[in-house]
Amino acid sequence: MLVRERITSTGIHAVLIAYSLLALFPLALIVINSLKSKKAIFRDPVGLPVGEAFSWKGYASVLTNSDFPLYFGNSLIVTCVSLFLILLFGAMASHALSEYRFPGDTFLGLYLILGIMVPIRLGTVALLQLVVDLNLANTLTALILVYTAQGLPIAIFIFTEFLKSVSREIKDSARIDGLSEYRIFFEVVVPLVRPVIATVAVFSMIPIWNDLWFPLILSPGEETRTVTLGVQQFIGQYTVNWGAVLASLSVAILPVLIMYVIFSKQLIRGITSGAVKG
């Protein structure tokens, strides 16, 4: 029996390890090659950055010879502000949908979630027109607004399911304790669904950080480029500074990684335990 269990567990781990290797291989390749000279990249793409092959040049050109820090900052601002707005409005809308009964609530719920099925890129032309009309072209605000709209439906979808499961009695007991509906949301409901907030944050963050489409169309200006767009400057018509491209990509992975580490703690932690019977 024990032997069999061990075999099963070894099998599971083998599959998981194989999958991890597969998923991590391209990432590793980017990081390894970002630390090599251009020649070495082409001579031996999978070789390790040791000895002659090693070179800081990519990072040096990224950090000194370009506006990379500016792009990086733009990306951070856009991602963080959009994320904040998505989480705030998404959670509040879902709370309203799951907690209150009002005329048209089912319709409103469906309407808010419908966005999942409509690819926002289809509306690019109209969006661009709108942004220009609002004098928001080449601003980070334009990106933030679009990303918030893009992230809300899926956020509301996930939040609504979870907020419905928050015990009604806890909210009622807060009501009896005299909290206003806003404070019930912020002081009772939000702490209860922190793991869900973290999940939605990770889900919403990655497409925003990695997006190339909207920065290219809505704010390609020198001052408002994001990292993904900024990287393009190293890809010239005739030459490509591969060291710099790979170095900037490596640096761009960092914030996502950091955010993931922060949120993953929450992802795992079941904070509700003990609140209600269970």
Q: How far is the CB of 276 from another protein (least distance, A)?
A: 4
Q: How far is the CB of 194 from another protein (least distance, A)?
A: 9
CA 269, 197, 191, 172 dihedral sign is: negative
Q: Which is nearer to another protein, 233 or 272 (CB)?
A: 272
CB 142 within 8 A of CB 74: no
Q: How far is the CB of 275 from another protein (least distance, A)?
A: 3
Q: Which is nearer to another protein, 85 or 174 (CB)?
A: 174
Q: Which is nearer to another protein, 106 or 173 (CB)?
A: 173
Q: Which is nearer to another protein, 122 or 176 (CB)?
A: 176
Q: Which is nearer to another protein, 108 or 170 (CB)?
A: 170
Q: How far is the CB of 192 from another protein (least distance, A)?
A: 7
Q: How far is the CB of 167 from another protein (least distance, A)?
A: 6
Q: How far is the CB of 266 from another protein (least distance, A)?
A: 12
Q: Which is nearer to another protein, 8 or 180 (CB)?
A: 180
What is the chain's alpha carbon radius of gyration, rounded to the nearest angstrom?
A: 23
Q: Which is nearer to another protein, 239 or 273 (CB)?
A: 273
Residues forming contacts to another protein in the complex (CB under 8 A) are: 167, 169-170, 172-179, 183, 188, 191-192, 271-277
For residues 235-252, b (16+ Cβ closer than 10 Å) or e, as one string? eeeeeebbbbbbbbbbbb
Q: How far is the CB of 262 from another protein (least distance, A)?
A: 18
Q: Residues near 87 by Cβ (< 8 Å), separated by ≥ 6?
A: 155, 197, 200, 201, 204
d(CA 190, CA 4): 44
Q: How far is the CB of 216 from another protein (least distance, A)?
A: 43
Q: Which is nearer to another protein, 51 or 270 (CB)?
A: 270
